[in-house]
Amino acid sequence: MTMETHEIKHSTQSVCEQPSTYTLGPLQAGPYCCIPHPVIQVKALSLFYGGKCALDTVTLDIYRGCITVLIGPSGCGKTSFLSALNRLTDLVPSCRVDGTVHVEGENIFGAHCNLQQLRKRIGMVFQKPTPFPLSIQRNIALPLREHGVTRQADIQAITEQVLRDVGLWDEVCDRLDAPALSLSGGQQQRLCIARALALNPQILLMDEPCSALDPIASGVVEELINRLSGRYTIVIVTHNLAQARRIANYAAFFWVKERERIGHLVEFGRCQHIFETPSDPLTAAYVSGATG
Amino acid sequence: MRWMKSIGAATIMLVLMSLTLSTFASSHKLVLTGSSTIAPLAIELGRRFESLHPGVRVDVQTGGSSRGINDTRKGVADIGMVSGVLKSAEQDLQAFAIALDGVGIIVHASNPVTTLTNRQIVGIFTGRITNWQEVGGHDARITLVNKAEGRSTLESFLAYFQLKNSEIKSHIVIGDNQQGIKIVSGNPHAIGYVSIGAAAYDAQRGVPIKLLTMDGVAATVANVRNGTYPLSRPLNLVTRLPPTGLVKQFIDFARSKQTHDLVEAQYFVPVSVD
Amino acid sequence: MIWWKHSISFLSASIDRWFSAALRIGALLAALIMLFILLFLLLESWPVLRHIALMRFFTDEAWHPLEDQYNLLPMVTGTLYASSGALLLAIPLGIASALFMIFYATPRTAVLYRRLIELLAGIPSVVFGFWGLTTLVPLINQWHPPGASLLASILILTLMILPTLALTSYAALVAVPKDYLQAAVALGLSRWGMIYGVALPAARKGIVAGILLAAGRAIGETMAVLMVAGNVVQHADSLFAPIRTLTANIALEMAYAMGDHRAVLFVSGLLLLLLVIALTIIAAWFGKTHHV
Amino acid sequence: MSKLFVNKDKMSYLLRDLTIQVLIYSAIVCVSGVFLWILFDLIRGGSALLSWQFLTDVPRDAGRAGGISSILASTLLVLLIALLAALPISWATAILLTEFISAESPFGRWVRYSLQVLACVPSIIFGLFGYAFFSLYLGLGFSILSGGLTLACMLLPILVSTAEAGLRAVPESYRLSAVALGMSRAATLFHVLLPVAAPAWAAGLLLGIGRAAAETAALMFTSGYVDRMPESLLDSGRVLALHIFDLSMNVPGGDAPAFASALVLILLLLVINLVAMRFTYLWQRKKLNAE
């Protein structure tokens, strides 16, 4: 198990003051990503729903500390691809997965993979904010307890820290016992990000985290994602091309074949390359807004 | 998880409680089931028996004589209550008569008819006579109340009039005596037959019913006692094995002189063994 | 160093396994009860099924178990007459009640009426039977003796299933999306046009489910019918004729039945069960094929 | 302009709508009239006898005199046994069916189908089963225990289906995000799903209690007729609904106490409703805000 050898240090102070072991740059400095070290290696990944192919042989690497955006039209398998990375596909009974996904060298579809550990290492944020119908405090405390953090003082410290990280602390510090559902949509989404951060993951998967929010809340979340890059490896699905261009280091363009409805990866590369000098005409047409 | 704990604790406590209670209770309980004719008497007997033997509990359930036989055979009841002589198929049981009772025809108290001949009764129950006018009453349709199949009162009645149940054209079918009394008391044109004891007991308490004179013999306790009333039968307590212990004590008590007042209060005729 | 004092993930995975096993035992028990009941009904009625031809339950002259005559048919027809009569009365009244609460009444009256219906849904059937015995039967008796009759049992069953029908129809109609109704009104449909053309078809599945539920209850009801039906075994030739239902037959004779008589009562229980299972199958079929 | 659209059918449409409205209103008047009549009858017949003493006295003279304290005690004990036996099994089944195994698996399908059939078994058949199985085979006799267990069998399908519906109504996103946070299924269930599903479960519980308290046929042969104060769970005890049945069928002059008992039963059901609703509300609030 990589987890045991890979001792993660977590400080109770603000993240920016004392970066963790593999943080590559200060959070405020914006994206800093130049060491292409693959943390997730996807090889020939195919997804089938009830025998029908939904995503065809995808191979790509996700680099540590970088933001990778997945773009493409609806139904091209971006979200399926994302949920295969932390094996949420297990929840769909009819879903079958071919190929391998290595996280830090370990095949997550292998027989000995500890799912709960895996999902602790790979946090996920959904399209619609999904806080539990509990208090704000308890939303963060619950998964922590589940992963063995039981001291009240520790929980409080971590809660405060992650809420500060997502910029929510000042807004809610006086009403931590209020129901999480009483927050606004943007606040709820940031709470969900904080909840994922509380487990100190290496990787964050985000499935259109801004699309259910109004433009202002969306902007706040986007800025937050920007700040988190470097410290975390982020994979994000978005339909907002402008946003993708603003935040991404790497971009993967998915497309769906008209007739068979099978999604596949068209092009993967540095953000600039995909958006400015795409090598595939499909990509060029999509990012210029001509199709999709 | 606190609520789970409390539910768990409650379950355990309840199980323990029931265990202790049941071991405490089981040896001192007598269960009597059967004839609805005997049940009111058995309840009174049980009450007095309990007062004489502290710590003993006597539970009485009705349901008909056949139930008494059934339950006794299966061991669900300690003692069965059976009205009427045991049939040949029931000779495996031990019967102990505790009283005599008659089966009487009852009508509503406001019904002008006071006596019926055997022919008239057969006519009414087989559906040949359908209006009270034909037997000297008001102009009204007769509502016939019959007992359900398997009731011993029904069997005594059928045997005496030599009828088959399939010949009876009833309008209402009832189970217990009290149900018959209740229906007749609520319907001025109804006719039925029940235990004389039950009918006399309720009539005396103001329930609007009356017992008809049958073929010239009034349905009274006195006539049952002196044997002139033709339709009478013994009331029995039955057991599967020869009685011992508490069961024997209860049966002996029920047949002793000290309970005659109870038997007579129910308008039955006591039978004595000692 | 708060994070991994100990890993409880392994522990919680095994908790899941134990928990699931415990749940399986519970579910097994629940499912076994049905088998138990069926098995035991068969076991108890076996002696009589072995030496009495099945047809005799329908071709014997009458029901006189002590004279070896076992015709169950009058009780089957009694059950069917009483429950179908009750349904015939209760369905229009129930649907009318639901329509009234949604489309006709002012909000205040609707709430008041619903409270009344809910109160009545909570009244035990034995109380309805008791009321029928003390009020309804004497009334019918004055009109046409003996009073205890098919009519009385139909009326009592109607009262009993009416609240169920009204409440299920209400729930089904409330669930019809408001958009449909608004669209109908916008098209200039009259109130009844909207109800008949849009609301009722959209709610049909729920209403039919409610009707089948009510039918099951009407067929299975014992005590209320026992109290007012007169319990004479015969084919009813008029509404004023007393009848006996299958359930009443069991309740009336079970306590003291012996030998073949007892076994035949179990056969009638079996028959009742089959009748009701047939109804469920119809319901399932209806649910599958006739949805809107 | 509008004249274009006034055709001669307009009048007949109006007439039709009016007729139907009249029909519906008369149905409502009919229904509420009859029901108010019943309620009025019950209240008039029962209120005279209803008093504190009626609730605390034991029945005397076959129920004509005295009160119903022992009947109430038996009723509550039977209910308690039934719920204690039925709740763990049915809730376990519901959780298994929704959270742990797929609805399409053979086991799940089998359990579900059995419960569907069980749900439509008439109560008298439960009575037969309980009498032969609990009273005779298991040797519990006519007792509160065998009555309660029989009722438990009867309650299973109601409790399972309501609990299942409650769990299914919980948004899938809660499960997804809980899984994404690496939480175990058991923890997800207890901390996230159950608080959300609690009102539905409570509603099912209420429905079950209502059905159980009103049940007569299933208890006739199992918990029996004895109207005395039960001393142990192996004693026979007459429940309230059976008491009403017995008073009205078998006891001449028993109408007045039957009315009063019916009134008590209805009030009891109302109170159970209100208390349980309040309880759920509080529990849910506590769960939402605690720690």
* Dist CA A198 CA A162 (whole Å): 6
Cα–Cα distance measured from residue D118 to residue B6, given in angstroms and rounded to the nearest whole number:
30
State how far the Cα of B70 lies from the Cα of D132, in Å rounded to an integer.
Answer: 12
Tens of pLDDT, residue by residue over B227-245, are 899 888 899 999 998 988 8
Chains A and B touch (3+ CB pairs under 8 A): no
What is residue A92's predicted lDDT score, i.e. its pLDDT?
80
Neighbours of D, requiring at least 3 CB pairs below 8 Å, are: A, B, C
Under a CB-based contact definition with an 8 Å cutoff, are residues C224 and C132 in contact?
A: yes
Residue segments in chain C with a per-residue pLDDT below the cut of 70: 1-13, 286-292
A76 C-beta neighbours (distance < 10 Å), count:
25
Question: What are the two backbone dihedrals, phi and then psi, of residue B207, each rounded to the nearest 5 degrees?
Answer: -70, 130
What's the token pair of residue C111? Answer: 């709430």
Distance CA A186, CA C174 (A): 32
| pLDDT higher than 60, residue D291 | no
> Are C146 and B151 a contacting pair at CB < 8 A?
no
Q: Which chain B residue has its CA at the smallest distance from C227's CA?
A: B174
Q: Is residue A25 part of a domain?
A: yes
Query: How many structural domains compose chain D?
Result: 1
Q: How many CA atoms lie within 13 A of D128 on its CB side?
A: 37
Task: Verify whether the Cβ–Cβ distance D248 to C272 is below 8 Å.
Answer: no
Q: What's A192's domain CATH number?
A: 3.40.50.300
Q: C100 and D27 in contact by Cβ < 8 A?
A: yes
Closest partner CB to C2 (pick from A116, A117, A158): A158
Q: Which chains touch A (3 or more CB pairs under 8 A)?
A: C, D
pLDDT, residue C22, reads 87
d(CA C13, CA C19): 10
How close does chain B come to D125, measured CA to CA in Å? 18
Question: pLDDT tier at B19 (50, 70, 90 boundaries)?
Answer: low
D285 touches chain A (CB under 8 A): no
Q: Are C166 and C94 in contact (CB under 8 A)?
A: yes
pLDDT digits (tens, 9 = 90+) for D221-243: 888 888 888 888 888 889 999 99
Nearest-neighbour CA in chain D from B11: distance (Å): 7
- The neighbouring-strand residues paired with A56 are A264
In a domain, D65, yes or no: yes
Query: What local confidence, expressed as pLDDT, does residue B23 receive?
Result: 46
Instruction: Look at residue A165 and tell me if it is in a domain.
Output: yes
Instruction: Tell whether D236 is covered by a domain.
Output: yes
Confidence tier at D20 by pLDDT (50, 70, 90): very high
Q: Residue for token digits 């009485």?
A: B60
Q: Which residue has the tokens 């509160």?
A: D144
Three-class SS state of C90: helix
Q: How far apart are CA C13 and CA B274, in angstroms?
A: 77
Which residue ranges form the domains of chain C, and what is each CATH number? 56-289 (1.10.3720.10)
Please judge whether C97 and D27 are an interchain contact, meaning their C-beta atoms are less than 8 angstroms apart: yes
Whether residue D102 is contained in a domain is answered as: yes
Q: How far apart are the C-alpha atoms of C159 and C145, rounded to whole Å?
A: 22
Q: Which residues of B118-148 are buried (b: 16+ CB within 10 A; e: fewer)?
A: eebbbbbbeeebeebeebebeeeebbbbbbb
Q: Which residue of C has its CA nearest to A151?
A: C2
Query: In this predicted model, what pLDDT tens digit does every residue of D161-208 receive, in sequence order?
Result: 889 888 888 888 888 888 888 888 888 888 888 888 887 788 788 878
Question: In the numeric block, which tokens belong to residue B44?
Answer: 């009174």
| Cα–Cα distances in angstroms (integers) from residue B273 to residues B234, B259, B270, C135, in the given order | 14, 12, 10, 49
User: What is the average per-residue pLDDT within D44-65?
Assistant: 86
Q: What pLDDT was estimated at residue A5? A: 35
Which residue in C1, C5, C8, C9 has the most chain A C-beta atoms within 10 A of its own C-beta, making it the best mutation to test that interface? C9
Q: Are C82 and C243 in contact (CB under 8 A)?
A: yes
Q: Chain A contacts of D283, Cβ < 8 Å?
A: none
Which residue from A93, A135, A196 is facing D102, i.e. has the nearest CB? A93
Phi, psi at B110, each rounded to 5°:
-85, -5
Q: Look at the block and give the residue holding tokens 């609703």.
A: D277
CATH number of the domain encompassing residue D183: 1.10.3720.10
For residue A263, what are the β-bridge partners? A55, A256
Whole-angstrom Cα distance, residue D120 to residue C280?
Answer: 8
Taken in order C252, C255, C261, C262, is the CA torsion positive or negative?
positive
CA–CA min distance A283, chain D (Å): 31
A119 in reach of chain C (CB within 8 A): no
Q: Please report the pLDDT score of residue B9 as a whole number.
A: 58
Domain range for A13 is: 2-287
Domain-located, residue D246:
yes
Ramachandran bin of A200, using left for φ above 0, alpha for ψ from -120 to 50, beta for the remaining angles? left
All domains in chain B, ordered by first residue: 29-99+234-270 (3.40.190.10), 101-226 (3.40.190.10)
The answer to the question of residue A292 being in a domain is: no
| D180·A195 Cβ contact <8 A | no
Q: How many other C-beta atoms can be found within 10 angstroms of the C-beta atom of residue A107?
A: 14
Note the pLDDT tens digit of each residue in B106-144: 999 999 999 999 999 999 999 899 899 999 888 888 989
Q: Do D175 and A91 make contact, defined as CB atoms within 8 angstroms? A: yes
A66 falls within a domain: yes
Dist. CA B155–CA B141, nearest whole Å: 26
* Distance between D168 CA and the closest CA of chain C, angstroms: 17
Within a domain: D188: yes
Is position A48 within any domain? yes
B63 neighbourhood in chain C, CB within 8 Å: 255-256
Among candidate residues C259, C269, C277, the one with its CA nearest the CA of residue C212: C277
Q: Tens digits of per-residue pLDDT, C96-142? A: 999 999 999 999 999 899 888 888 887 888 899 999 988 898 899 88
B vs C, Cβ pairs < 8 A, gives 83
How many structural domains compose chain A?
Answer: 1
Q: What is the rounded distance in angstroms from the CA atom of residue B56 to the CA atom of residue B30?
A: 8
Rounded to the nearest angstrom, the minimum Cα separation between D104 and chain B is: 30
Pairing of strands A52-63, A263-270: parallel
The amino acid sitting at A230 is G
- Looking at residue B235, its pLDDT comes to 92
Q: In whole angstroms, what is the distance from residue A159 CA to residue A142 CA?
A: 11
Measured in angstroms, the CA of D86 and the nearest CA of chain A are apart by 29
Q: Which of A32-46, A225-239, B178-192 has the lowest mean pLDDT?
A: A32-46
The structure's pTM equals: 0.81
Query: What stretches of C65-222 show up as alpha helix (H) in DSSP?
Result: 73-99, 107-121, 125-131, 137-143, 150-174, 178-186, 191-194, 200-202, 204-220
